[in-house]
Structure 1
Amino acid sequence: MTHNTPLSPRPLSHLTEAPQHRVLTATALRAHGITAAVANERCRPGGPWQLLLPGVYLLHPGLPTSDERLHAALLYAGGECPPIPAQQGGGRTSCHAAARTAAPSGTPSGRSAAGHCPPPHPPRAMITGLAALTLHGFAGSPSLRALDRIDVLVPRTTRLRSTGCVHIVRGQSVPDPEEITGLPVAPVARALADTVGQLTDAGVVRRLLVESVRGGYCESGAVVGELLRARLLGRPHVRDAVDALVAESRALAEGMLYEMVFRHRLPDPCWNVDLRLPGGPHLGGVDAYWPEQAVALELDTRAPRPHLDQDAQWSEYARKREALEGLGITVVHLTPGKLRESLQQQAAIVRTALMTAVEREPAEYVIVTPR
């Protein structure tokens, strides 16, 4: 017997009765003792099976479910590597985290627990595009059943062609996927970039980008960064949508900041003001300023810009902060993500800065004007 000889066949009912086995590859079927000839015979017109994609079989007649289509797409694009195992309690996790959770302690390096991908090797294929946004819960994306195409992100070196309902998206860099219902799914920012690259409807692009921050799925900077890497910011309708995205992110962050101050009874600051020295240079604008304590608060809603790299943007912010602190002004830096995670914790940071202000030398006199 050679390694090409199939195993002795078992009754086929053991496959079709198990929901998780209703979509299998030719290689998996062979491991169950089913030759390609037998599989193809069962896929004849009127037969009990179907050939969904090259080398991927649906083990029942009729239309595949949305879940079966997703599994078939991943099996076609990702070979025999199983999807990320679902975590107890649900939620989203990265592939590496899922693999670490699944592997029992003491598992030797390079090996994995039965049924799981080895931790160092994440799935080489993941759902992206509109299907990924739907799995993430976007209201503005179609239902999985309504999608006639499933985008699958793979490394650029993967030799695959789009076929049937599967559209292969090749990436120079592939992010760690998130686990949703046991499937590897591209993070929201990457899925948005892969979606926007295929859309020409300005209204749809705008709605999806705005929903990404309005729904709390990700930060605007992450979205703009992915669009920049995908070289999509040169398209006018994408630039307009990004302007709306940044404005929405800013408005939401300011709303959370107001809520933090009033809910946690912090002293009323001067909102949205410019600071300058008497007869001197403009020091910059801040989102909130407490003159008596010389404490300034800045919301970081920066997004990457095509003409400045992220290091240059950070240096620009750092110079401004250094100038203010050089005058004795304490600068509190908050991000929308931190506010979203815990208003109470961020309020405690601001309160601490206000309380410790009395321990410092008085700040140099600055002029405060509305922005």
Structure 2
Amino acid sequence: MRERSDLGVITASTLKSLGVANPWRRCEPGGPWQRMHPGVVLLHNGPPTRDQQVAAALLRAGPGAVLTGAEACRRHGLPASGTEIHVLVPGRAVGSGALITERASPMPPFADVDGFPAVSASRAVVDACRQLRSADAATALVAAAIQRGRCTPESLAAEARTNRYGTKLVRTVLKELGRAESVAERDARRLSRRIRLTTPHWNVTIADSDGLIIARPDAWFDDVGLAWEIDSKAFHYGVRDYERTLARNSRYAAAGILVVQTLPARLRDKPEAVARELRKAHAAAAARPRPLVRIVEPT
């Protein structure tokens, strides 16, 4: 029977065609199998793996079902929250438990992703955001998708326009992010506007007078030559990441650039303290000759 199953998951109708008249009797307490969904059986009684849960969900959803939402995001290598399994089907949609089934007409393009049929990363992110209530969680997912190259802002916006039902949150996030690349950068933009410092440039490349690249700060106050870096601890656990940060700061120092480094958690929890530091740094930068550096356009 296992050779006719998918990862040890099989439909009751297939079992009956193989001569098992009453498969549910073997799913009773103490039996060798277990019921995953109506009509779907797992051929052992231990905890199912995540792949077995996904296989059972697809069998329950029926022919043509494909993964979307948080599970598809994870298969695409994105850090989506949510334990539900969301699938799209070409016909009647019947869900159960943590399985969300949704009829799609026409069905979106899909491909084999990590062993299962799944929609594109852009569609998966938009559908995952439809299940979220937290703007921060949606921003983090959208930012990760863009940063990791799985999606572009344009592809996400196109999916949100095509599938507008329930997409207000993701459309708001895309509008608010603009060119921001993270939740922390969004918070930094808000703080910068609130304290009314010179409007900084965001994510621009800075070079010295000889044209040598110095860095690409999160925010750049060009009038006084001040850089603002939102440095997450998560990006400095590795030796190479730490070395890159030290090298970057050395280039700032050699060029005479003052730099403010802020942890995202501090920006979130103590914005007034960060605002004071940023104002003082801006004043200090303005009090000394501006370094001979400039913004360079990407080639």
TM category, shorter: 0.5 to 0.7
Residues 255-281 of structure 1 deviation map (CA, whole Å, 9 limit, x = unaligned): 79x9xxx89xxxxxxxxxxxxxxxxxx
3-state DSSP class of the match of 1:57?
A: strand
Q: How many angstroms apart in 1 are the aligned matches of 2:150 and 2:15?
A: 39
The aligned residue for residue 126 of structure 2 is 193
User: Is 2:88 the partner of 1:153?
Assistant: yes
Q: How many angstroms apart in 2 are the aligned matches of 1:210 and 1:19?
A: 38
* Pairing of 1:317-332 with structure 2 (within 5 A): none
3-state DSSP class of the match of 2:73?
A: helix
Q: How many angstroms apart in 1 are the aligned matches of 2:145 and 2:177?
A: 8
Kept after mapping to 2: 8 A contact 1:206/1:244: no
Give 1:138 shift.
Answer: 0.8
Give 1:19 shift.
Answer: 8.3
Give 1:181 shift.
Answer: 2.3
The aligned residue for residue 161 of structure 2 is 228
Q: How many angstroms apart in 2 are the aligned matches of 1:188 and 1:234?
A: 16
The aligned residue for residue 59 of structure 1 is 43
The aligned residue for residue 271 of structure 1 is none
Kept after mapping to 2: 8 A contact 1:178/1:186: yes
May I ask how many residue pairs the two structures share in their alignment?
A: 193
Residues 259-309 of structure 1 deviation map (CA, whole Å, 9 limit, x = unaligned): xxx89xxxxxxxxxxxxxxxxxxxxxxxxxxxxxxxxxxxxxxxxxxxxxx
Kept after mapping to 1: 8 A contact 2:6/2:55: no
Q: Mind listing any 5+ residue stretches in structure 1 that lack a counterpart?
A: 1-13, 80-123, 264-342, 348-371
Give 1:63 shift.
Answer: 1.6
3-state DSSP class of the match of 1:247?
A: coil
User: Is 2:9 the partner of 1:23?
Assistant: yes
User: Is 2:174 the partner of 1:242?
Assistant: yes
Residues 213-233 of structure 1 deviation map (CA, whole Å, 9 limit, x = unaligned): 111002211100111122269
* Pairing of 1:77-92 with structure 2 (within 5 A): 77-79=61-63
> Which of structures 1 and 2 has the bigger CA Rg?
1
The aligned residue for residue 130 of structure 1 is 70
Give 1:245 shift.
Answer: 4.4
- Flag the 1:159–1:226 CA change in 2: closer, same or farther, 3 A: same
Identical residues among aligned pairs (%): 32
CA RMSD of aligned residues (A): 3.2
Kept after mapping to 2: 8 A contact 1:209/1:245: no
Give 1:198 shift.
Answer: 2.0
The aligned residue for residue 46 of structure 1 is 30
Residues 282-341 of structure 1 deviation map (CA, whole Å, 9 limit, x = unaligned): xxxxxxxxxxxxxxxxxxxxxxxxxxxxxxxxxxxxxxxxxxxxxxxxxxxxxxxxxxxx
* Pairing of 1:347-358 with structure 2 (within 5 A): none
Kept after mapping to 2: 8 A contact 1:227/1:233: no
- The letter of the residue matching 1:132 is A
The aligned residue for residue 53 of structure 2 is 69
- Flag the 1:229–1:18 CA change in 2: closer, same or farther, 3 A: closer
- The letter of the residue matching 1:77 is A
- Flag the 1:221–1:188 CA change in 2: closer, same or farther, 3 A: same
Give 1:21 shift.
Answer: 4.8
Q: How many angstroms apart in 2 are the aligned matches of 1:21 and 1:239?
A: 38
- The letter of the residue matching 2:85 is I
The aligned residue for residue 141 of structure 2 is 208
Give 1:190 shift.
Answer: 0.9
With 18-27 and 219-228 compared, the bigger mean Cα shift is at: 18-27
Give 1:34 shift.
Answer: 1.9
Q: How many angstroms apart in 2 are the aligned matches of 1:243 and 1:201?
A: 16
* Pairing of 1:278-317 with structure 2 (within 5 A): none
3-state DSSP class of the match of 1:164?
A: coil
Give 1:47 shift.
Answer: 0.6
Q: How many angstroms apart in 2 are the aligned matches of 1:223 and 1:153?
A: 18
Kept after mapping to 2: 8 A contact 1:213/1:245: no
Give 1:244 shift.
Answer: 4.3
The aligned residue for residue 32 of structure 1 is 18
* Pairing of 1:135-146 with structure 2 (within 5 A): 135-139=75-79, 141-142=80-81
Kept after mapping to 2: 8 A contact 1:23/1:56: yes
Kept after mapping to 1: 8 A contact 2:68/2:124: yes
3-state DSSP class of the match of 2:179?
A: helix
Kept after mapping to 1: 8 A contact 2:7/2:55: no
User: Is 2:106 the partner of 1:173?
Assistant: yes
Q: How many angstroms apart in 2 are the aligned matches of 1:214 and 1:198?
A: 22
3-state DSSP class of the match of 1:231?
A: coil
- Flag the 1:154–1:29 CA change in 2: closer, same or farther, 3 A: same
